[in-house]
């Protein structure tokens, strides 16, 4: 008899302890979970004697067989042999895989727990059918977990498997385990899908399923919980539905082919969308820049709100605006508020810009950044070189330069460009292609847009990469120009999602439009005879941002011939909204469009790892962050439950 075809997607691991099962009957709970759609069941009972194990395993096996769902026994090969179920799951301290295979024969499923690269390699070599990778997050279900490895730990093991020579390693099935529930499942799945533009296969291995204990076994409604978790597993999270198409859904034969350089005409609708829709720009930013950020938002036609209170984030997220999280003040309280806001905006698919201010400067900031990156998904991450190198590290990537005699350029601030002195950008240690490689690598891993600002800005969404040479040195001499670029991007992203012409364009085009508006405004302001330095530059810059917006509306107005009927009504709307926002119409005149001043270079061929050697391996930081993300989530869950008369078991859901 051959091995059963197994669907690993929602893998229920049982628990018979009172803390989770309560007084309920294990068989009944498993039956309800089966009704709810779990696809694989593991009987895990660490304390019962052998007779009880065999009796219960038989009962569970009957229920599973009735639904054609395989049953796996945890730890005990003898019990699996006795009841002739479909397989076993073995930890690092259990019977070795090769011996279990000899006893069970080739047709049984053998799963192995792994938390390191070498354990994964050995489990594959010894013939495991699937790997239970973990522990993902700390969990009260299993307190003595040896390794909490977080998302980055799982990513590194998946990446390691996907680059192995043998098909056995590349094709082995994988699930992750530890702290998975309805609130984090979609994010985990999203974070573990990693297109890799530099690998021949185009995609790093992903997980085939999630192994879950308490979110089902501790639920008072196991059927509904299983249904819900199944639904979540198969549904993209709200924030991903508006992403650029995934490689697999792309109609182009090569998903990583760069698109043609955007033109002023293709970028114009995005510029117009902001005054048209007057989007909310929700700023969780530091005290130093609040006033300036609000003025900048108003000048481009957005509506700013400065609120650092995470408790009002969900109300604000429902107003269809964009959020910018500026890590300028990275206190524990601020991080907690940020996390609430990230969840709120991710929950409704609202755009979030992360500005990891000073992230490369101190260990505490690097850890704070790791915490934020693991807490949710950001549409755009923008920062200077050392900040983006810190983002790479938080994303589980670190690089060694092949040029600079093998020096480490990211990871731990131990030298090279990875260490930042203050929040200022400092001098660059990377070539343009190295920057492009890093930015593209992070963007494809996180499936977002990454922008490294500098004299030349480099931005990528993992598919397309641009260098932008606009801007002026005065931007680097005033406080908050980087922070307020974040504000501007948040407004642009929000407006793009509200505008039917722009909605379908990928976020990278929206970000590019924003940068051009911002940097061409800086160039124009700096060129004025009334501007003598950074002090006089600031008001001139705010004026220029406003003027470029006015001119864009005027240009669009003239393009269509003011007063004419517009077939699809879009330009009319822009002009009307421009007027509402205080812009005079200029029918009949056709000024040139300032976007012509753009200096954008598509970076079509970025050499791969020959340029930068990428390191794979679990770090202490990966582990620490995994621990903190989970404990913070637990604290939130407890706070949510406060005052409610909820049975202990339900808290796990
Ligand atoms: C699917 C899956 N993955 C990992 C484990 C953990 O197994 P192990 O390390 O043997 O620890 P115990 O479960 O025995 O406490 C698992 N059970 N299932
Ligand atoms: C068995 C096991 N192995 C690592 S974590 C874990 C328990 C996971 O439980 P939960 O899904 O309740 O976090």
Instruction: Give dist(CA 549, CA 577) in Å, integer.
Output: 12
SS3 of residue 256 by DSSP = coil
Ligand nearest to the CA of 145: 2
Instruction: Give dist(CA 271, CA 115) in Å, integer.
Output: 48
Ramachandran region, residue 587 (left: φ > 0; alpha: ψ -120 to 50; beta: rest): beta
Averaged pLDDT for residues 336-340: 93
- H or E element, residue 186: helix 185-191
Distance in Å, CA 381 to ligand 1 centroid: 36
Worst-scoring range by mean pLDDT, 234-243, 389-398, 629-638? Answer: 629-638
Nearest Cα to Cα of residue 507 among 530, 531, 490: 490
From the CB of 145, is ligand 2 less than 6 Å away?
yes
Q: What is the pTM for the complete model shown?
A: 0.84
What are the chain's domains? Answer: 10-255+619-642 (3.20.20.70), 266-543 (3.40.1190.20)
Nearest Cα to Cα of residue 630 among 217, 142, 221: 142
**What is the tens place of the pLDDT at every residue in 49-104?**
999 999 999 999 999 999 999 999 999 999 999 999 999 999 999 999 999 999 99
**What is the tens place of the pLDDT at every residue in 215-233?**
999 999 999 999 999 999 9
Ligand 1 binding site (Cβ under 6 Å of any ligand atom): 11, 13, 42, 44, 74-75, 89, 91, 94, 111, 113, 132, 134, 142, 175, 177, 211
Nearest Cα to Cα of residue 434 among 449, 416, 412: 416
SS3 of residue 247 by DSSP = helix
Nearest Cα to Cα of residue 353 among 393, 275, 293: 293
- Rounded (to 5) percent helix, strand, coil in the chain: 50, 15, 40
Ramachandran region, residue 411 (left: φ > 0; alpha: ψ -120 to 50; beta: rest): left
Residues 6 or more apart in contact with residue 251 via CB below 8 angstroms: none
For residue 210, what are its two tokens?
A: 């999630």
Instruction: Give dist(CA 624, CA 501) in Å, integer.
Output: 44
Residue 457 pairs with which residues in a beta bridge? 468
> Ligand 1, residues 40, 132, 143, 180: which to mutate, most atoms within 8 A of Cβ?
132
Instruction: Give dist(CA 330, CA 354) in Å, integer.
Output: 13
Residue ranges of E strands in 77-180: 87-90, 109-114, 130-134, 173-177
Residue ranges of E strands in 444-529: 449-452, 457-460, 465-468
Predicted confidence at residue 413, as pLDDT, reads: 38
> What are the φ/ψ torsions at residue 578 (nearest 5 degrees)?
-60, -40
What secondary structure letter does DSSP report for 593?
P
pLDDT at 424 over 80: no
pLDDT at 422 over 60: no
- H or E element, residue 612: strand 612-615
Nearest Cα to Cα of residue 392 among 353, 335, 445: 445
Note the residue count of the chain. Answer: 653
What secondary structure letter does DSSP report for 364?
H
> For the chain, how many helices (H) and strands (E)?
23, 19
From the CB of 149, is ligand 2 less than 6 Å away?
no
Complex ipTM more than 0.90, yes or no: yes
Worst-scoring range by mean pLDDT, 4-18, 286-300, 550-564, 628-642? Answer: 628-642
Residues 6 or more apart in contact with residue 41 via CB below 8 angstroms: 11, 12, 14, 30, 33, 34, 60, 64, 69, 70, 71, 72
Residue with tokens 């679990």: 618
Ligand nearest to the CA of 109: 1
Residues 6 or more apart in contact with residue 568 via CB below 8 angstroms: none
pLDDT at 521 over 80: yes
Higher-confidence residue: 108 or 561?
108
Higher-confidence residue: 66 or 589?
66
Residues 6 or more apart in contact with residue 231 via CB below 8 angstroms: none
From the CB of 180, is ligand 2 less than 6 Å away?
yes
**What is the tens place of the pLDDT at every residue in 433-463?**
889 999 998 998 889 999 999 999 999 999 8
Averaged pLDDT for residues 170-185: 95
What secondary structure letter does DSSP report for 85?
-
Predicted confidence at residue 336, as pLDDT, reads: 92
Averaged pLDDT for residues 291-303: 96
Distance in Å, CA 622 to ligand 1 centroid: 21
């Amino acid at each position: 008899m051959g091995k059963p075809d197994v669907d690993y997607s929602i893998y229920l691991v049982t628990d018979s302890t009172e803390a989770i099962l309560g007084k309920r009957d294990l068989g009944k709970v498993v039956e309800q979970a089966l009704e709810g759609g779990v696809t694989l069941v593991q009987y895990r009972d660490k304390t019962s004697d052998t007779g009880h194990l065999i009796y219960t395993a038989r009962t569970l096996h009957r229920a599973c067989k009735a639904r054609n769902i395989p049953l796996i026994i945890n730890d005990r090969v003898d019990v699996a042999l006795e009841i002739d179920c479909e397989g076993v799951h073995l930890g690092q301290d259990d019977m070795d895989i090769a011996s279990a295979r000899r006893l069970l024969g080739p047709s049984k499923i053998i799963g192995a727990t792994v938390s390191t690269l070498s354990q994964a390699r050995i489990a594959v070599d010894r013939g495991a059918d699937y790997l239970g990778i973990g522990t993902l997050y700390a969990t009260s279900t299993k307190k003595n977990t040896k390794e909490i490895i977080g998302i980055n730990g799982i990513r590194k093991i998946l990446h390691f498997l996907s680059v192995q020579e043998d098909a056995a390693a590349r094709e082995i099935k994988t699930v992750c385990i530890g702290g998975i529930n309805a609130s984090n499942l979609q994010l985990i799945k999203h974070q573990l899908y990693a297109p890799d533009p530099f690998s021949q296969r185009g995609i790093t291995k992903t997980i085939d399923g999630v192994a879950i204990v308490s979110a089902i076994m501790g639920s008072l409604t196991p059927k509904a919980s299983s249904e819900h978790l199944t639904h979540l597993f198969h549904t993209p999270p709200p924030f991903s539905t508006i992403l650029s198409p995934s490689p697999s859904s792309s109609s182009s034969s090569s998903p990583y082919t760069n698109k043609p350089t955007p033109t002023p005409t293709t970028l114009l609708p995005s510029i117009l969308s902001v005054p048209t829709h007057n989007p909310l720009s929700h700023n969780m930013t530091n005290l130093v820049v609040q006033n300036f950020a609000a003025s900048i938002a108003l000048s481009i036609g957005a509506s700013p709100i400065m609120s650092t209170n995470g408790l009002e984030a969900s109300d604000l997220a429902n107003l269809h605006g964009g959020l910018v999280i500026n890590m300028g003040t990275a206190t524990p309280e601020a991080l907690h508020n940020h996390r609430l806001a990230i969840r709120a905006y991710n929950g409704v698919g609202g755009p979030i810009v992360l500005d990891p201010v000073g992230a490369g400067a101190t260990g505490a900031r690097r850890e704070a950044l790791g915490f934020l990156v693991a807490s949710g998904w950001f549409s755009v991450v923008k920062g200077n070189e050392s900040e983006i190198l810190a983002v790479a590290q938080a994303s589980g990537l670190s690089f060694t330069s092949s040029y600079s005699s093998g020096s480490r350029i990211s990871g731990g601030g131990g030298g090279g460009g990875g260490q930042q002195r203050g929040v200022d950008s400092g001098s660059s240690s990377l070539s343009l292609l190295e920057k492009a490689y890093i930015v593209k690598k992070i963007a494809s891993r996180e499936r977002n847009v990454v922008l490294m600002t500098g004299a030349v800005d480099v931005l990528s969404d993992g598919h397309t990469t641009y260098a932008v040479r606009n801007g002026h040195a005065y931007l680097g001499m005033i406080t908050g120009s980087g922070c307020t670029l974040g504000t501007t991007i948040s407004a642009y992203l929000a407006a793009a999602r509200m505008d039917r012409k722009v909605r379908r364009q990928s976020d990278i085009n929206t970000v590019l439009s924003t940068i051009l508006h911002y940097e061409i405004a800086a160039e124009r302001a700096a060129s004025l005879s009334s501007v003598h330095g950074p002090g006089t530059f600031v008001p001139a810059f705010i004026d220029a941002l406003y003027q470029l917006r006015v001119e864009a509306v005027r240009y669009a107005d003239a393009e269509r011939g003011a007063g004419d009927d517009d077939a699809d009504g879009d330009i009319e709307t822009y002009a009307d909204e421009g007027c509402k926002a205080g812009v005079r119409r200029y029918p009949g005149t056709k000024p040139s469009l300032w976007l012509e001043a753009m200096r954008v270079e598509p970076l079509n061929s970025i050499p791969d790892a020959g340029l930068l050697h990428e390191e794979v391996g679990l770090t202490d930081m990966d582990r620490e962050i995994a621990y903190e993300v989970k404990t913070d989530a637990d604290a939130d869950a407890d706070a949510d439950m406060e005052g409610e008369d909820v049975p202990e078991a339900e808290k796990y859901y």
